[in-house]
Structure 1
Amino acid sequence: MLAPGEAVQADYSALLATSFGVLVDQRRGGGRSKGRPTVFTAPAEGGWVDVAPALPGEVYALDLDGTAGWCVARGVGLAVASTLRVDPSWPNFHTLFGAEHGFLEHVSGVGTMVLAVCGALDVATLEPGEAITVDPASVLAYSDGTQCRLRAVSQSGPQSVRTGEGLMLDIAGPGRLLTQTRTPRAMAGWLAR
């Protein structure tokens, strides 16, 4: 649902329908190519945009109130309010990924980001000092304030900070961690059968 004049970014290929009068601006957002957002703006009376993920699973509305941000896996944002800032070069990622862009991006501001969950959503609330280890492919998002460490599964195997392949992510509280029960890579292979 969009308030009068409110804008949201979404991948055009995820679009199912909009209410009459919603402006679809492909030039501002990037056009019809997959992964490049299109901007949808509600008319004076407001409106709605209906989008759906490519893979089966849940959707989750992550509401940000401006007090803290979230680290979100690349590619899971189904729709992003225009009031949110998405930053793949967030300075705190330098300790995690070095100079490279990794498999996460930082989201901050006030608004809603709708996440496409592959499979079912699992939410873990971590108390101070409580830690969990997770495969990066299962991570949807975690809140600011958590402590993170990236480590190799095996020193001899292939590793990539861009995709998370061959790595594990240790996350310690306080904070919240959102994970998905399936991975997009595995689901795409299964659906291709």
Structure 2
Amino acid sequence: MRVHTRHTPNFGVARVFLNPGEAVQATGETMLASSYGVTETAPARGGVRTGRTGPSVFTAPGDGGWIDFAPVVPGDVYPLEFDGTTGWSVHRDALLVRPASVRHDQTWPQLQQLFGADSGFLEHYSGTGPLVLAAPGPAEQFELARGELVTVSPDYLLAYPDTVQCRLRAVDPSGAQSLRTGEGLALDFAGPGTVLVQARNRRLSRS
């Protein structure tokens, strides 16, 4: 899988080039166009579904193909490359396209320590290949040296690698807080590593 982006950072589109028979996951409403022969398998409809729409699986035909994906909210698209040695924690609303070679680690211990039994605003991924992220504003990054500290609002966070230490805390212990959205919370990071952020507030960009 290869990714080429265009119209960034304001109205980003990610063109995903697939090898013969290769597949990726993305929500169906983000598929803009594709080469002829690409098939889409919609998520199963059994049971009661709540929250965000489940992903479809897009599969290339025998001679390969391409798919254009565009985020629902205008903004940037960012291919995050996985090298097989380091996993990343990603904001659950930032994911645009996931290849089969990148795994969703649903029981990642560090996230369980952050959120406990609750379903938080972060998900962990590992493997190889490009995981395409979507941001309602330009993607930026903080390159942290060993021991260097930075505080980030969850509304602006895209992702951070396993090399970075993370602490979740309440901005005001007496105020409203949500582990699902990050409202009322702050993230303290310690290097070394890269913290990816976006230059627009995620929740306000949807209003």
TM surpasses 0.5: yes
Q: Distance in 2 between matches of 1:80 and 1:134?
A: 25
Residue 84 of structure 1, CA deviation: 1.1
Q: Deviations over 1:162-189 (max 9, x none)?
A: 1111010001101111001112210111
Residue 95 of structure 1, CA deviation: 1.8
CA contact (8 A) 1:14 1:51 kept: yes
SS at match of 1:113: strand
CA contact (8 A) 1:29 1:36 kept: no
Say which of 88, 113, 121 aligns to 1:70: 88
Look up the match of 2:150: 132
Q: Which runs of 5+ in 1 are unaligned?
A: none
Residue 40 of structure 1, CA deviation: 0.5
Aligned residues: 188
Residue 122 of structure 1, CA deviation: 0.8
Residue 34 of structure 1, CA deviation: 5.1
Report the aligned-residue RMSD.
Answer: 1.8
Residue 20 of structure 1, CA deviation: 0.5
Q: Which runs of 5+ in 2 are unaligned?
A: 1-16
Identical-pair percentage: 51
Look up the match of 1:178: 196
Q: Deviations over 1:13-47 (max 9, x none)?
A: 111111101121114699xx953110011111110
- Shift of the 29–142 alpha-carbon distance from structure 1 to 2, 3 Å rule, reads farther
Residue 121 of structure 1, CA deviation: 0.9
Say which of 35, 40, 48 aligns to 1:19: 35
SS at match of 1:48: strand
Look up the match of 2:125: 107
- The structure richer in helix per residue is 1
Say which of 95, 104, 114 aligns to 1:96: 114
Given residue 22 of structure 2, which amino acid in structure 1 is its aligned partner?
E
For the pair 1:79 / 2:118, whether they are aligned, the reply is no
- Shift of the 34–19 alpha-carbon distance from structure 1 to 2, 3 Å rule, reads farther
Question: TM-score, length-normalised on structure 2?
Answer: 0.86
Say which of 142, 149, 167 aligns to 2:185: 167
Look up the match of 2:160: 142
Look up the match of 1:61: 79
Given residue 41 of structure 1, which amino acid in structure 2 is its aligned partner?
T
